[in-house]
Structure 1
Amino acid sequence: MITHTTQSVSKANIFLTCTDEKYYRDELIVEKNTVIRMISGEMKIILPDITYVIGAGDTIFFPRNDLAKVWKTGKDGRPYKSVAIYLTPEAMQQYAIKHHIKPIHPSPRTGIKCMAAHPLLDSLFNSLVPYFNLKNELPESLAEAKVDEAISILKLIDQEVFNTISNVEEPGKINLAEFMEKNFMFNMPMDKFGYLTGRSLTTFKRDFKKAFYTSPQKWLTQKRLALAHYQITEKKRRPVDVYLEVGFENLSHFSYAFKKQYGYAPSSI
């Protein structure tokens, strides 16, 4: 990764991010419902079962408590630049009170979603970009009005997304084994895995041992190595292109663990 400058400017729950790094990666635990409009550059979103490539003019919705690996790059000589609106549970509760909306019972929520183009989305984001040229902080009342406008637009153009952001409940207890089999390649603290499965750290570790008969760290390492081995041997991919995707933080640690597991270095394949 070649690093130059990254700038993230906040206006309450509205953010503009601009980076001229050649290559930037991040591993997201999305804690707030977020709508992102790409201004320039490209964002690759890698999920366990699908990969999205988002370009300039595209709009994508991230539901809270979802996991994603994100790669951000410049494109066509322009830096990565995006505007994000956070739709917090508090904002949704205030919106419901203001507009006399009855609570929505929990329903199947949408995952990460590429949103269809719509003039109302264009109008919303076009109105936001100039605010980041202000020297002073955007007045709170104006920022709240823009968040309120974003919610109203989502209610009008995408009921599925609106239902998702209207659910303000914390994660409930879910099937731990199914969740871990789907999300083992995400590198995060154990307490986050516990939270996302509706458990305290202590309960997570206890339930994990019941499900897999080993410790979380040992199981995660073996699963990540097995996926890496498959990608390198069967898909003919290079170790340098694989280790981040499967959940390792650096190439040297991955190579060491791989050789310890299989008896030979990944680079020798």
Structure 2
Amino acid sequence: METIDIVQHNILLSCTSKQQFSQEHFWGEHTLSILLSGEGRVYNNEETQIYTPGTIGFLKRNQLAKSIKIPSADGQPFKSIGIILDEESLKQYSTENEIVTKLPYTGKMMFQLNQNRFITGFFDSLVPYFEQPEQLTKRLSELKTKEVIELLLAYDSRLKELLFDFSEPFKIDLEAFMKSHFTYNVPIKQFAKLTGRSISTFKRDFKKTFSQTPEKWLKDMRLDKAHFLISEKKQKPSEVYLQVGFENFSHFSTSFKERFGYNASTV
């Protein structure tokens, strides 16, 4: 089988023998993961994180990021294990342990942890579930979540400020944010959340700023970006459509011809 992606409660088991670009760009919850084989790349507008076997990475919640899964040159598949540290579980843990943070977290949105035998051992304990995911019950997942929270706090107590920061994004400059993030393929409601707005306020502010609906503006911006990459950077249409935020090649091809009057392949 070329690709196996198992989501068992809040634990993610992924294995693929083909290079894959992510289609989900919004990370709504904290995610901790380890790469077992192959190579992984996760990038946002500020930086790129490169994962090699043994790398443990952390992605903060409420951010836009893209990822690439790459099998190794010697034939090893991309294989990783991740655990989602959802807000509900973290709030329950903070209540049970009387944890209070005073200020919102302002550090990096994604980073790697130095190899730690306890956290590595935690992920090792999840490897057998690739073969029998049904054995990973909801109760076990809850216990595993509490275990890894304990391990993270033991690894670095400063992570408390990150894990238990439950503040929501505040209202930011809509124009600057959208011009920097239009290639991320997420629903309008996620753009609204990340700019600190309700969906109705977002649409109203967007129309005032760009004199277009968000849907029309995003489509045009993505197509213009694709045209530039194909015509100036000589990239192939099949390589471009995911980069600029389209979900499938067919929709991209049709939209490209409607906007420019010719096929992307003839640019």
TM-score computed with the length of structure 2 as normaliser: 0.84
SS in 2 for 1:96: helix
Aligned counterpart in structure 2 of residue 16 of structure 1, from 10, 13, 33: 13
Matched, 1:107 2:97: no
Aligned counterpart, 2:223:
225
Matched, 1:64 2:61: yes
**CA distance 1:41–1:26, change in 2 (3 Å):** farther
Q: In structure 2, what is the Cα distance between the partners aligned to 1:178 and 1:153?
A: 38
Aligned counterpart in structure 1 of residue 116 of structure 2, from 99, 118, 125: 118
Amino acid in structure 1 at the alignment position of 2:90: M
Amino acid in structure 1 at the alignment position of 2:223: L
SS in 2 for 1:236: coil
Q: Which moved more, 1:117-126 or 1:44-53?
A: 44-53
What does the per-residue CA deviation read over 1:102-149, in whole Å, with 9 as the maximum and x for residues that have no partner?
234213142122333233322222233235555763465554343223
Number of paired residues?
A: 266
What aligned pairs does 1:152-163 form with structure 2 within 5 A after superposition? 152-158=150-156, 161-163=159-161
- On the 8 A contact 2:203/2:214 being kept in 1, the answer is yes
Q: CA deviation at 1:207?
A: 0.8
Structure 1 unmatched ranges of 5 or more? none
SS in 2 for 1:110: coil
Structure 2 unmatched ranges of 5 or more? none
Q: In structure 2, what is the Cα distance between the partners aligned to 1:66 and 1:179?
A: 12
Q: In structure 1, what is the Cα distance between the partners aligned to 2:203 and 2:162?
A: 29
Q: Which moved more, 1:165-174 or 1:237-246?
A: 165-174
SS in 2 for 1:78: coil
Q: CA deviation at 1:184?
A: 0.5
**CA distance 1:24–1:239, change in 2 (3 Å):** closer
Matched, 1:38 2:45: no
Aligned counterpart, 1:242:
240
Q: In structure 2, what is the Cα distance between the partners aligned to 1:208 and 1:245?
A: 23
Amino acid in structure 2 at the alignment position of 1:69: K
SS in 2 for 1:27: coil
Q: In structure 1, what is the Cα distance between the partners aligned to 2:2 and 2:118?
A: 35
Q: In structure 2, what is the Cα distance between the partners aligned to 1:55 and 1:101?
A: 34
What does the per-residue CA deviation read over 1:208-244, in whole Å, with 9 as the maximum and x for residues that have no partner?
0111122112211222122223322332222221121
Q: In structure 2, what is the Cα distance between the partners aligned to 1:156 and 1:216?
A: 44
Identity of aligned residues (%): 39
**CA distance 1:65–1:120, change in 2 (3 Å):** same
Aligned-residue RMSD, C-alpha: 2.8
Q: CA deviation at 1:82?
A: 1.4
Aligned counterpart, 1:74:
71
Aligned counterpart in structure 1 of residue 182 of structure 2, from 174, 181, 184: 184
- On the 8 A contact 2:223/2:256 being kept in 1, the answer is yes
- On the 8 A contact 1:224/1:247 being kept in 2, the answer is yes
Give every structure 1 segment of 4 or more consecutive aligned residues whose post-TM-superposition deviation is greater than 6 Å: none
